[in-house]
Amino acid sequence: MSDKPSVLFVCVHNAGRSQMAAAWLTHLAGDRVEVRSAGSNPGDQVNPAAVEAMAEVGIDISAEVPKMLTVDAVQESDVCVTMGCGDTCPVFPGKRYLDWKLDDPAGQGVEAVRPIRDEIKKLVEGLLEEIAPQESRGVTRPDS
């Protein structure tokens, strides 16, 4: 068992919003937070517009693959974030559940995905501030 916080991002296809959120949290938190993403009906591939939008900010999600939401993924996570898509996660005592109201980037071009990407970054920064406040403020550890 890890003592670092863990977050699961969920959207229906695990191809856009949840992939971008997982990438942002991994990018901003490094290895200080365990990050997962999944979908109730995973797509065949990550949304190409999401891949392009994240590449514009230096984050490569081109190798990511949509994953199926499992009870284990929820059980192993401290925070479960759904992406305003009506998905529901199995509920376990002691877990924190958030629902972020975000537009769906499916079928959208990169121009429409950029503002979604930027909103996700703001939400992830706020979540990181709550679950790992010192790290998100850029405090360096003595061993770094």
Is 80 tagged catalytic? no
113 φψ region: left (φ > 0), alpha (ψ -120 to 50), beta (else): alpha
Predicted pLDDT at 140: 45
| Residue 75: both structure tokens together | 């059980």
Is 11 tagged catalytic? yes
Check 8, 15, 21, 85 and give the catalytic one: 85
What lies within 8 Å, CB to CB, of 58 at 6+ separation is none
Predicted pLDDT at 137: 45
Predicted pLDDT at 136: 40
Is 89 tagged catalytic? yes
Predicted pLDDT at 86: 64
Mean pLDDT by 10 residues, the chain (144 residues): 85 94 96 93 95 98 96 92 73 85 93 98 96 58 43
Q: Please, what are the domains in the chain?
A: 6-136 (3.40.50.2300)
Q: How many H-runs (helices) and E-runs (strands) does the chain carry? A: 5, 4
